């Protein structure tokens, strides 16, 4: 088989760490998929639909550093746009490859299937331009150069890229890559670094320093540098819920999760009253700050962003990368004042009656305590996310959520993608029944791929997060009742591959969590029942702030 453009694209993706490609076949991508199947380093993971495939690629990319999804033109790619937009909003590098009609069909403006019937084949590229950092319509003359350009942009900006691969261009013969793609280099200028170091010394010397970090630290690959800073200088530190598990939450100087007015009092005081606060990769959003209720004084803050740092709300230093800024602070950390902040113990949880009905207050601490130190915890944007976000987790846990884009149902395919990205780790998906109904088809793919994991499905008869905001008993927040325990069999599971457990009381949940922990070689579906209008406290606070914002005239 001749070496062609499709092979070049696959080799470049494999070079960057992709070994699984998600997607749905369509006639405009089928010949390219032949090359995917034939590639020694790639494996095709066909999804139930394009939206789910996009979500799976996103979850995969959060663990691997990059993911890829293949769809067909028009009908396929538009189904994936929601997933790609979420990846764009949350800085997740996913490459969207779209199989499109041959160049001669495009040149003659033919009215073919999956089009709008007007001969314009760039409608959807213009849509993609709003939610991707780079786009390319590959041509025979420049396909390889354009592939490299898009992939470089995806690596640098940590956002999705879009590639139109025409059926005929995919088969054009080319030479294999002659050298690896150049790695993203540190763009910091020596002048900006030196000026920042001087200003930071003056601003922080002899001062008590507290660190508040968020998810963009992970996106730019600076997690280890953050951990080095807080451990080298023995600094009290917190994260936002979006950046949960960036640091070791069992460390003695970990304060907890900061969420504005919804924070534990000790966490809120330590962050908001800090003599000097260093915010790293922080973006305050409504859902993680209980409606922008944070009170951070910029005059006492060093704010480290992706490409610039601001001291005292006034002095900006750029171009200065986030990793370089952390490196500078670590180098001068000996000049900070000794740590005198005592980290408050995590609040105790009232011991519920073992035989009483299961409540949100009882559920989430029990789930958090049952987690192993190598789990990937994926929490859907509802009771699951808000129930777990403020609870401490063991060292080695990776916590994934989508609090900015907040597309319910995202996590079921994303947990599958994360499990395929890290086959030595066990994904634990926590999702509500309303969210699960949106993407449950991917359970069949999960079963087919034989990914061991745990799905904790909260059966509370509908959209609890929407009930908490408005319409607590309104019919539009109800869902169709499903017999969840029958679904694994309906989606193709053999009895030896999946365990189905159910818990209505605290005692039953304890037994089920123990059974789930022991069933490491299989998929476990654990259905837990809580009251329809029972909410985690954090969700109640966030819902109240959203209700207030939505009610303004």
Query: How long a stretch of residues is the chain?
Result: 553
**406 has catalytic annotation:** yes
CB atoms within 10 A of CB 295: 12
Distance between CA atoms of residues 89 and 97, nearest Å: 19
Catalytic site residue from 29, 253, 460, 461: 460
**113 has catalytic annotation:** yes
Catalytic site residue from 433, 442, 527, 541: 433
Distance between CA atoms of residues 428 and 20, nearest Å: 20
The neighbouring-strand residues paired with 498 are 523
Cα atoms found within 13 Å of the Cα of residue 510, Cβ hemisphere only? 11
Distance between CA atoms of residues 157 and 163, nearest Å: 16
Catalytic site residue from 15, 104, 109, 113: 113
Catalytic site residue from 6, 161, 401, 406: 406
Catalytic site residue from 35, 114, 157, 237: 114
Extended beta strands in 329-419, E state? 375-379, 398-400
Tokens in use for 205?
A: 């010397």
Catalytic site residue from 15, 27, 511, 531: 27
| Contact assessment for residue 248 and residue 256, using Cβ atoms and an 8 Å cutoff | no
**139 has catalytic annotation:** no
Tokens in use for 376?
A: 């990937």
3-state secondary structure of 162: strand
Catalytic site residue from 401, 462, 527, 541: 462
**50 has catalytic annotation:** yes
Catalytic site residue from 327, 466, 527, 541: 466
Distance between CA atoms of residues 81 and 414, nearest Å: 15
CA distances from 46 to 52, 71, 415 (A): 10, 10, 15
Strands 315-317 and 309-311: antiparallel
Catalytic site residue from 50, 90, 248, 249: 50
Distance between CA atoms of residues 456 and 516, nearest Å: 10
**234 has catalytic annotation:** no
**96 has catalytic annotation:** no
**20 has catalytic annotation:** no
φ and ψ at residue 532, rounded to 5 degrees: -60, -35
**478 has catalytic annotation:** no
| Contact assessment for residue 526 and residue 456, using Cβ atoms and an 8 Å cutoff | yes
3-state secondary structure of 1: coil
Tokens in use for 512?
A: 């089920």
Distance between CA atoms of residues 33 and 512, nearest Å: 41
CA angle 308, 311, 316 (to 5 degrees): 40
CB atoms within 10 A of CB 423: 10
φ and ψ at residue 94, rounded to 5 degrees: -120, 130
Active site amino acids: 27, 50, 113-114, 406, 433, 460, 462, 466
């Amino acid at each position: 088989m001749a070496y062609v453009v499709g092979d070049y694209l696959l080799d470049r993706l494999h070079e960057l760490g992709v070994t699984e490609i998600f997607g749905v076949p369509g006639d405009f991508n089928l010949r390219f998929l032949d090359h995917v199947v034939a590639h020694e380093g790639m494996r095709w993971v066909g999804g139930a639909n394009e939206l789910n495939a996009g979500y799976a690629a996103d979850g995969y990319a959060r663990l691997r550093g990059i993911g890829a999804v293949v769809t067909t033109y028009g009908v396929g790619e538009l189904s994936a746009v929601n997933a790609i937009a979420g990846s764009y909003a949350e800085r997740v590098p996913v490459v969207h490859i779209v199989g499109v009609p041959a160049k001669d069909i495009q040149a003659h403006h033919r009215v073919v299937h999956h089009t709008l019937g007007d001969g314009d084949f760039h409608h959807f590229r213009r849509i993609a331009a709003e939610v991707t950092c780079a786009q390319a319509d590959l041509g025979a003359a420049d396909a390889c150069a354009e592939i490299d350009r898009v992939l470089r942009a995806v690596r640098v900006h940590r956002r999705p890229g879009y590639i139109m691969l025409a059926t005929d261009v995919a088969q054009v013969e080319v030479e294999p890559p002659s050298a690896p793609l150049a790695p993203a280099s540190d763009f910091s200028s020596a002048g900006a670094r030196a000026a920042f170091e001087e200003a930071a010394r003056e601003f922080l010397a002899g001062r008590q320093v507290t660190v508040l970090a968020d998810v963009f630290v992970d996106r730019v690959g600076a997690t280890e540098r953050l951990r080095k800073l807080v451990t080298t200088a023995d600094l009290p530190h917190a994260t936002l819920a979006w950046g949960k598990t960036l640091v070791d939450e069992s460390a003695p100087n970990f304060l907890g999760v900061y969420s504005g007015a919804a924070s534990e009092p000790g966490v809120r005081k330590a962050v908001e009253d800090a003599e000097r606060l260093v915010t790293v990769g922080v973006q305050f959003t409504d859902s993680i700050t209980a409606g922008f209720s944070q009170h951070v004084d910029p005059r006492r803050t060093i704010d480290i962003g992706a490409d610039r740092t601001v001291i005292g709300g006034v002095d900006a230093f750029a171009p200065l990368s986030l990793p370089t800024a952390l490196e500078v602070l670590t180098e001068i950390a000996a000049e900070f004042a000794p740590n005198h902040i005592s980290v408050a113990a995590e609040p105790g949880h009232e011991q519920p009656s073992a035989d009483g009905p299961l409540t949100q207050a009882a559920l989430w601490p029990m789930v958090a305590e049952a987690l192993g130190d190598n789990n990937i915890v994926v929490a859907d944007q509802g009771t699951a996310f808000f129930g777990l976000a403020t609870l401490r987790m063991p060292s080695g846990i990776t916590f994934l959520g989508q609090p900015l884009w907040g597309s319910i149902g995202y996590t079921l395919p994303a947990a599958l993608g994360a499990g395929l990205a890290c086959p030595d780790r066990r994904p634990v998906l926590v999702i509500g029944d309303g969210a699960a109904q949106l993407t449950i088809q991917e359970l069949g793919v999960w079963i087919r791929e034989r990914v061991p994991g745990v799905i904790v499905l909260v059966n509370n008869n509908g959209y609890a997060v929407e009930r908490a905001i408005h319409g607590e008993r309104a019919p539009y927040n109800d869902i169709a009742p499903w017999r969840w325990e029958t679904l694994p069999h309906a989606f193709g599971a053999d009895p030896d591959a999946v365990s189905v457990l159910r818990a209505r009381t605290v005692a039953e949940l304890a037994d089920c969590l123990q059974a789930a922990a022991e069933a490491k070689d299989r998929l476990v579906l654990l259905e837990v029942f809580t009251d329809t209008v029972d909410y985690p406290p954090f969700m109640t606070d966030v819902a109240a702030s959203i209700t207030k914002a939505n009610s303004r005239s």
